[in-house]
Amino acid sequence: MTSTGSASAPTDSPMLRVGVIGLGFAGTTHLDAFTALPGAEVVALAGQERERLEELGATRGVPNLYEHWEDLVARDDLDIVSIGTPNALHHPIAIAALASGKHVFCEKPLASTGELAAEMVAAARDANRVLEIAFNHRRRADVQYLKRYIDTGPLGSIYHTKAMWTRRRGIPGLGSWFTSKALAGGGPLIDLGSHVLDIGLHLLGEPRVTSVSAVTYSELGKHGRGGARGAKTTGSGHEFEVEDFASALLRLDNGSSMQLEASWAGYTKDFDDIAIEVMGGTGGARLFIENYATDDTLRMYTDVEGEPVIITPEVHVPHGHHRAVIEEFLATVRSGLWNTSYGEYALHRSRVLDAVYESAREGREVSVA
């Protein structure tokens, strides 16, 4: 397959052929989702841990195994390359895959910096191929319910939003690639904060962040505290070079604001909790997901005859959010409507994260590029 850069056209093949790169949690999750969905066939898998590679190849029925991602991308019979690697590899793999005419599904964040993310989006546009990112949590049923509720207008003018993902003890592998600035790009802000930033902007209808004022701290991880129990590592021996807590005030172009907070570890009551709170002139809403809960996560706040009322919707959240986002990705690839699917929305999130890190580093408010 070669890149043409021509007008979009539906993909009529009865089966989309997929190559997955990455053997950790992300790569395995992508592999299982593509394998489970009709109309997609995983024909190649790449990763440097030979034993794990052979295990996944055997248990998932993948016929072609590669230790080097370049060999997988070089195949001319793939429609899709799925990237589930450390963040630093997202950019080179995506650039190579897009240049060879393949669609790309990429684990979040899009890249370790906004500049690299911009190059990936430009490559998708030049190749006229889909670039989608695994922001799977916005596909949760409770997030979708809250989105519909906000869109109907009962909250009035929304002036402030809180978007947080905090852990009591959850650094994903002390000494792993997650703690390397070069490999990860950052700590919980880029790992967890990117998800809740995505949810918050999605709920609000995609306003643009114009400036940020932020702080970051590294108080536990650098002393060997706060590691997740039983966390498996990819690589070992890396210094703790990233933050373990980040907090930022974001100003939005619609006149509202957002508090963004992400923590891998801290002496708090939180276990592994996601919280989104939306404050409006005539109502409010709160999504609170405690330890990946699937029920009783939503509260809506209003007044009835002048008295405060709490509404508790019954929304069950089935598992499989990665499957949902990959299912949407496959539908987009098949549709041929690719010119709105080059990953621009994810680029904005990467630009925001860049600004947060710059603001924390320089101790001042920073405009978002």
User: 10 Å Cβ neighbour count for 269?
Assistant: 8
pLDDT at 3 over 50: no
* pLDDT at position 61: 97
How far apart are alpha carbons 86 and 9 in whole angstroms?
32
* pLDDT at position 239: 86
* pLDDT at position 324: 92
How far apart are alpha carbons 162 and 311 in whole angstroms?
19
**Strands, E, within the chain: which ranges?**
16-21, 40-46, 64-66, 80-83, 103-106, 131-133, 158-167, 209-217, 245-252, 257-263, 272-280, 284-290, 298-304, 307-311, 366-367
pLDDT tens profile 82-95: 999 999 999 999 99
* pLDDT at position 231: 62
pLDDT band at 228 (very low <50, low <70, confident <90, very high): confident
Q: Give the three-state DSSP class for 286.
A: strand
Contacts of 135 (CB under 8 A, 6+ apart): 108, 194, 195, 198, 325, 346
Q: Which position has the higher pLDDT, 7 or 30?
A: 30
- Cis-peptide, bond into residue 63, ω within 30° of zero: no
How far apart are alpha carbons 242 and 247 in whole angstroms?
14
Q: Give the three-state DSSP class for 147.
A: helix
* pLDDT at position 173: 81
pLDDT band at 319 (very low <50, low <70, confident <90, very high): confident
How far apart are alpha carbons 18 and 32 in whole angstroms?
12
pLDDT band at 237 (very low <50, low <70, confident <90, very high): low
How far apart are alpha carbons 216 and 247 in whole angstroms?
6
Average pLDDT over residues 24-29: 95
pLDDT tens profile 112-142: 999 999 999 999 999 999 999 999 999 999 9
Domains of the chain: 16-136 (3.40.50.720), 141-319+351-367 (3.30.360.10)
